[in-house]
Chains A and B, each alone.
Chain A
């Protein structure tokens, strides 16, 4: 009774604790229903992340209810609502506010849903929700009613929620969860038309590459967690300076970078992005130009305060970015498919942004000093170009979708002269392409100028042995920009100008429906607006984001850069003019020098390398498996015995547990010798037995020998059982022989036989040595003294039977069950025959 009462008290106490913690949670929640700066902010950022997931679940039930209205209109509400909520945060964030809200998930591991809203995540959040809304508007007109719309929007919402989770998570483990969710939803979206083989292949490639990167990133996160003892970004950034010399610091950095590079399609992991172009165009416009591929950039930006200032980080991010930029633009020129061209251009632009983040990290080399502020401009330019790229690239993808929809092909060789038929589309394409090429009056011009400024600035930095290699960076950047210019011209001139070839198109060209044009027009207007009012963006969005990337600098200096279109005849302006002049010349003479692409045959591309690796892995694992999984029972037994010999024998030798002493042995009588020798001879004779009868009788000799030993060793019950069982077994063998074919001579090769013999002898020897060693290692007395009281305890005079039925009755019960099962098994084996049809199936 006493214990029951105390138990009850305990339960009540625990229950109270639960209620208390819930009340605390509610209290935390209630704090969010407060009035801030006159605006009622009823939503915590966690809710922002959760809303799309709830929507994704609801969409699946929606389509049946509303068959007459395109469900895209309902889905459109969600990104618009989220966008409005995020916009309301802008003034507060610009004033330096940050929002943190935590919902406990696995507190004991330090893994919680903590969402953190600051300048950096706000930029990404606005891009995701804003472009998401536009893409949904576009997709309403782009996708047919007879497509599986509910799945499309469900995946899209899943993706949006996951992406918002990636950028708002303060906890790196939760970030990883959402990171993988973006990979999965991207996989689903790429293979949206799963009937097509190429969609499936593209989806598989994207999944393999991004998930491999994601895994390495997880490993890096775990290392970071081990180094700092925390999974929270803010805490990590605060305490990481004490751990720069930690052995895991560099490995963690490399692994996390690998994750970022694979997600952002950096060289040489860029190959999945062109293959992902099999997705519907809205997906390409959204995932593969503005959002998912920016996740890697976000990661690099987020981790800049952690790893920036490390030379390896600077070189890797910068050089990989520049190489990606060059390779992407160089490869884009040779593409004939518009979407593939845009995919490579995305790769190239992402490389450019990546390299700017790398150059910006140089500022952190020696902590804060007034001189290093100038290098942070690169990061500023990176964020600026990230926004610009999202605007014009999505617009371009939508344009390509319109062309594809209108004339039924995306092949540059079949297109041309569409400008007169599609004037609005042509205008949008021109704005987007010229912005991408870096021409005024479009926003791309501004970020390109800043890009050149940062590559020129970085040469001056006397760190990371830049004086030796620094000149290479501007050169590489300039060459890449020339190629960028060329492919931008291709998009405009080869598609919209030149000869109109109606006979090669599937439908005659016509302007797109108005609904399809809404989203690209808005984006094109943005492209121009940003050119004329860039500083609004700079002051309100980018400066607070810079504060998140350079927390140490933000307190000391103003990190803002006044963006201006005209700042005199500077080297970067001359570089831009050079790009335009050289690019134009090269574009005009394109058909003469295009032959250099033939020097790089298809079989040398990274794509074929990837395929070769996949094939090699598959074939070689097949080979390996087929090499040792032969299907012969003997081989498997050989493996098992070899393992036994190596492990047990090795341990014996290693530990030196050989111990042989016959001092404590019982005396041996003559009869013992006689039986033992008989059994040895009999057992060896089995191997050489010519007929099966001999073998079975010899087995009987061994069995009865054992029984005799039981007699001599004072075990009457055993002797009895052994005799009976041996007799029955012999009978069984004989019965089986009656049905089985004649005992054949073992026709194995001499080699097999000798291997068998060697293994058998080794196994026997190890067995004997271990047994002898064990016998002389009596650690404590036997417990059998207890069983000798069996008469007092259970009233049995036969100790063995008392053990079997009383002390250890469970064994006996289950042993009876074993016999029962064996009996049933024997019965069914004999009685039940496969029916005719099944037999035929088996033999197929």
Chain B
């Protein structure tokens, strides 16, 4: 299971990297979103998978799955969402101001 998820995350990283290297802003933002999915899956995997019960006390008396990675991922999801939202609005405003959403055209002047 860990190997499967790892390889899956690897595929996601590959796709994200490819998207990050592309020219349009929206693809780059998509790339970041996919990259964060991969990261979350990896954090999950690192804690070990299916080694116990759901981390809710009272239903049964453990052993529970490692709860710490879950807490970390929960934090990370929210931060990733905030960043994605901000980049999207930034892309929208950039397009409004400059009339383009391709990164090559957004290149600054030569002497900046």
Contact = CB atoms under 8 A, between A and B. Distances in A.
Interface residues of A, number: 97
B9 A672 contact: no
Contacts of B44: 709-710, 713, 715, 718
Contact of A791 (B2, B20, B57): B57
A784 interface: yes
B91 A634 contact: no
Interface string A674-687: 00100110011011
Interface of A: 630-634, 637-638, 641, 662, 664-668, 672-673, 676, 679-680, 683-684, 686-687, 692, 695-696, 699, 702-703, 706, 709-710, 713-718, 721-722, 725, 728-729, 732-733, 735-737, 739-741, 743-744, 746-748, 756-757, 759-761, 763-765, 767-768, 771-772, 774-775, 782-784, 787-788, 790-791, 797-800, 803-804, 808, 811-812, 815, 818-819, 821-823, 825-826, 829-830, 834
B21 A634 contact: yes
A706 B38 CA distance: 9
Chain B contact residues: helix, strand, loop or mixed: helix
A815 B79 contact: yes
A743 B26 contact: yes
Contacts of A791: 57-58
Contact of B89 (A641, A676, A741, A825): A825
Contacts of A710: 44
A744 B26 CA distance: 10
Contact of B14 (A713, A717, A764, A797): A764
Contacts of A729: 33, 81, 84-85
B67 A665 contact: no
Given A632-B103, A721-B77, A765 B10 contact: yes
Contact of B49 (A638, A666, A702, A735): A666
Interface of B: 1-15, 17-28, 30, 33-34, 37-38, 40-42, 44-58, 62, 64-68, 70-71, 73-75, 77-86, 88-93, 95-97, 101-104, 106-108, 110, 112
Of residues A684, A709, A736, which shows the largest number of chain B Cβ atoms within 10 Å of its Cβ?
A736
Contacts of A692: 26
A641 B17 contact: yes
Given A665-B2, A746-B22, A797-B58, A713 B88 contact: no
17 contacts: A637-B21, A680-B11, A687-B18, A715-B54, A715-B73, A729-B81, A733-B88, A737-B26, A739-B96, A740-B92, A756-B18, A775-B45, A775-B46, A798-B55, A818-B78, A818-B79, A830-B89
Contacts of B20: 637
A713 B73 CA distance: 13
A732 B66 CA distance: 32
A775 B22 contact: no
B8 A804 contact: no
Question: Nearest 5 CB-CB pairs, A to B?
Answer: A764-B14, A768-B10, A822-B82, A666-B1, A803-B71
A662 B89 CA distance: 43
B53 A743 contact: no
Nearest to A763: B17
A633 B95 CA distance: 17
Contacts of B4: 668, 672-673, 676
B41 A787 contact: no
A798 B85 CA distance: 29
A387 B84 CA distance: 76
Contacts of B75: 804, 811-812, 815
Contacts of B97: 834
A800 B33 CA distance: 24
A638 B21 contact: yes
Contacts of B70: 715, 717-718, 800, 803
A634 B21 CA distance: 5
Given A667-B1, A746-B22, A772-B3, A714 B15 contact: no
Given A702-B34, A788-B62, A830-B93, A782 B23 contact: no
Contacts of B7: 768
Nearest to A630: B107
